[in-house]
Amino acid sequence: MKSGRLQTLINQVNTIINGTGMALPLNVITNKDLEEMVETSDEWIVSRTGIRERRKLEEGMSAVDLAERASLEALKAASLDPLALNLIIVATVTPDYPTPATSCLLQARLGAFNAGAMDLSAGCTGFIYAMTVGHQFIQSGVCRNILVVGVEVLTRITDWEDRGTCVLFGDGAGAVVLSASDEDRGIISHSIKADGRGAELLLVPGGGSAMPASLESISKRAHYIKMNGNEIFKFAVRVVEDTLEEMLRKEKLKPSDLDFLILHQANLRIIEHIRKRLKLPREKVPVNIDRLGNTSSATIPIAIHEELTAGRLHKGDLVAMVAFGAGLTWGGLLMKW
């Protein structure tokens, strides 16, 4: 047992991840492809971000299509009938529509008619926020099974004329089934934070009530992501370190106690910086940004699914997850797998 606090997981209702799934579009965009579109180079993109390629969802498909595929895989892995779900939470900044929520569309696709459904918008921290919300419903006894999905179709809100952002983002989905369990494992602690003073650092200005769609908003390219990359970079390094430090300190744990540190995939330089500072070996800090780019709220559930299906993540492993993003938001989750 790695800490006294973990002992308290015994003999109470715990929240475990009971099944995972992921879905990616088939369409690959390489750095070479981007060289044809904007003034950039494979060398710049790889050295500044670590990204080599990303996925782009086929026309005619939308967030719910990816979410459905990832969810069906997670439900199958959990051996759970969709009718046993009590709640569906979809974390996304690229819903199918402003209203209704993508989670409602997903509920209908899955036939999960006993589940409430809501979307959650917390930028790239969406998955951590959604897991935290789901955990509260299980802890309170209100729900036994919750589907949490992180899904993004960021290529639809990417400005393909802005080299500062278009090289970064990709599409994808990851899903997990959260279940109530009396096993001695599950979510140990969590932390969700925000600082709205940084809202303008990462923003899609058009399409909401502040700037409804108009010919003018379209001509200003206001429906695409605008980002101050430098500021977000500095913020990210700071909050990831602080969040992790706080979560570990609370549980009297050290970074070396971790079997996995799953970080939001926004830039390989951020991931490597944290990994080296904490002196963690590469195999404990999974990377998918090289193949998938930044898929926002989907980066962490995709990484979990990949580690699990590759046979590297085992029952009892201590796993920390930390994310940051638009809002500004950030947060972390500690769990015993």
**Residue of 31, 86, 104, 124 marked catalytic:** 124
164 or 255: CB nearest ligand UT7? 164
Q: Which is nearer to ligand UT7, 28 or 38 (CB)?
A: 38
* 263 touches ligand UT7 by CB under 6 A: no
Is residue 25 at the binding interface for ligand UT7, with CB under 6 A as the rule? no
Q: Which of 135, 190, 264, 305 is catalytic?
A: 264
Site string for ligand UT7, 235-254 (x = CB under 6 A): -x------------------
Q: Which is nearer to ligand UT7, 34 or 87 (CB)?
A: 34
235, 170, 262, 271 alpha-carbon torsion, rounded to 10°: -50
> Which residue from 289, 277, 286, 293 is spatially nearest to 259, judged by alpha carbons?
286
| Pairing of the two strands 186-194 and 329-336 | antiparallel
294 carries an active-site annotation: yes
Is 273 a residue of the active site? no
Tokens of 138: 């299980």
* Interacting residues with ligand UT7 between 177 and 206 (CB under 6 A): 202
Minimum distance, C-beta of residue 62 to ligand UT7, in the bound complex (Å): 21
Which of 205, 207, 229, 255 is in the footprint of ligand UT7 by CB under 6 A? Answer: 229
Say if CB 114 and CB 83 are below 8 A apart: yes
At closest approach, how far in Å is the CB of 267 from ligand UT7? 4
Max intra-chain CA distance, the chain = 61
Q: Which of 301, 325, 327, 331 binds ligand UT7 (CB under 6 A)?
A: 325
Cβ proximity to ligand UT7, 86 vs 165, nearer residue: 165
232 touches ligand UT7 (CB under 6 A)? yes
Among 9, 78, 105, 167, binds ligand UT7 (CB under 6 A): 167
Query: Where are any strands of DSSP class E within the chain?
Result: 14-23, 27-30, 53-56, 87-91, 116-120, 145-153, 171-181, 186-194, 202-203, 226-227, 260-263, 318-325, 329-336
Beta carbon of residue 130, minimum distance to ligand UT7 (angstroms, whole number): 16
Give the closest residue to 304 by CA, choosing from 176, 168, 203. 176
Report the C-alpha gap between 56 and 26 in whole angstroms: 8
Structure tokens at 237: 């390094």
Query: If binding is defined by CB under 6 A, does position 49 make contact with ligand UT7?
Result: yes
119: β partners? 90
Known catalytic residue at 114: no
Q: Does 230 bind ligand UT7 (CB under 6 A)?
A: yes
Query: Residue 35: exposed, middle, or buried by beta-carbon count in 10 A (0-12, 13-18, 19+)?
Result: middle
8's tokens:
């308290």
**List of residues contacting ligand UT7 (CB under 6 A):** 40, 44-45, 48-49, 124, 163-164, 167, 202, 229-230, 232-233, 236, 266-267, 294, 325
Q: Which residues are catalytic?
A: 124, 264, 294
